Amino acid sequence: MKVWTVANQKGGVGKTTTTVSLGGLLAQQGKRVLLIDTDPHSSLSYYFGIDAEALSHSVYDIFIKSASLTADSVLDCLCPTKIDNLYVLPATMALATLDRTMGSEQGMGLVLKKALAKVDNEFDVAIIDCPPVLGVLMVNALAACDKVIVPTQTEYLALKGLDRMIRTMEIMGRSLGKSFDTCIIPTMFDKRTNAALESRKRLMSDYGGRVWEGVIPVDTHFRDASLVQLPISAAYPKTRGVAAYGKLLEVLGK
Ligand SMILES: Nc1ncnc2c1ncn2[C@@H]1O[C@H](COP(=O)(O)OP(=O)(O)O)[C@@H](O)[C@H]1O
Ligand SMILES: [Mg+2]
């Protein structure tokens, strides 16, 4: 199973949209896909109409019961979606308390990695959607993955946030003894605006080979797709947004 983490400490940059869009495309290709919501705001879960507050199991259980996890106890926490082969490990608000209750416990950074190892044979790809906060959840997501996807809005302020995110990953990488395979993706790109063109140029010059050479364009179909609780590729297959994530997937899959 490949594990990808979608992270950026800035909110509203397209993390959840990227997670859902890549997951939808992979599932349509016949891959068995698990999307993991680690944001206490549960945007990914709500996207698919899943209200984890009303469920008996969520990703929170994985952290609470980390010492006694089995493949079945992880699988018990998963929810199906309207798309074949596409499953969600939902989040709950309780996740927000983890930093306070467990943040300093030994080994807490590796809980998600261990949980995913239990279901390694059940899925081809797992994609972890992160909260916009550096805490125990993002640490877990980064420790568990083999690739980090960093969506970045193509505007000046978002680039500032990116500097912080890249520094955070360097510090984390050192403590985990790994260097991250990072792919920065320019999102919500509006080619008509100077700000978008300039910030893409700056991204390329500051981060070079780590920046995907394509862009995810502004496309209102992303919002429309979320209203019908489907990945954009299932709701509006012939859109610029789908084509762009398709191209990204070709690069990520290599
Ligand atoms: N390429 C895009 N074009 C237009 N709207 C987008 C695009 N990507 C995301 N959005 C919208 O922007 C908002 C924030 O995106 P989201 O993926 O939730 O960001 P994050 O998870 O980083 O907070 C959502 O309403 C989403 O539908
Ligand atoms: Mg989100």
Ligand nearest to the CA of 220: 1
For residue 26, the CA-to-ligand 2 centroid distance in Å is 19
Tokens of 149: 């996807």
Confidence band for 103, pLDDT divided at 50, 70 and 90: low
As a whole number of Å, the CA-based R_g of the chain is 17
SS3 236: coil
Q: Distance from CA of residue 229 to its chain's centroid?
A: 17
Helix segments in the chain, DSSP class H: 15-28, 43-47, 59-64, 71-75, 98-102, 111-118, 136-144, 156-176, 194-207, 221-227, 232-235, 240-252
Q: Which among 217, 148, 143 has a CA at the least distance from the CA of 184? A: 148
For residue 73, the CA-to-ligand 1 centroid distance in Å is 32
Q: What is each CA distance from 59 to 26, 32, 36, 81, 172, in whole angstroms?
A: 22, 19, 8, 16, 22
Q: What is the pLDDT of residues 217-237, one digit of tens each?
A: 999 999 999 999 999 999 999
| DSSP H or E stretch at residue 241 | helix 240-252
Q: 176 - beta bridge partners? A: none
Atom of ligand 1 minimally distant from the CA of 217: 1
Q: What is the pLDDT of residues 151-176, one digit of tens each?
A: 999 888 888 888 888 988 888 888 88
Proportion of the chain above pLDDT 90, given as a percent: 76
Q: What is each CA distance from 61 to 102, 112, 130, 144, 178, in whole angstroms?
A: 13, 11, 17, 17, 27
Q: Distance from CA of residue 40 to its chain's centroid?
A: 14
Tokens of 144: 């568990």
Q: What is the pLDDT of residues 17-69, one digit of tens each?
A: 999 999 999 999 999 999 999 999 999 999 999 998 888 889 999 999 888 99
Arithmetic mean of pLDDT over the chain: 93
b/e 100-124 (16+ beta carbons within 10 angstroms → b)? eeeeeeeebbbbbbbbbebbeebbb
For residue 16, the CA-to-ligand 1 centroid distance in Å is 7
Ligand 1 pocket test target in 5, 16, 17 with most atoms within 8 Å of CB: 17
Residue listed under structure tokens 């550096």? 134
Whether domain 2-252 has CATH 3.60.10.10: the reply is no
Residue whose Cα lies nearest atom 8 of ligand 1: it is 14
Ligand nearest to the CA of 149: 1
φ/ψ bin of 213: left (φ > 0), alpha (ψ from -120 to 50), beta (otherwise): alpha
φ/ψ bin of 42: left (φ > 0), alpha (ψ from -120 to 50), beta (otherwise): left
Proportion of the chain above pLDDT 70, given as a percent: 100
Spatial CB neighbours of 218, under 8 Å, sequence gap ≥ 6: 188, 189, 190
116 near 67, Cβ under 8 Å? no
SS3 214: coil
Domain map (residue ranges) of the chain: 2-252
Tokens of 192: 């008509």
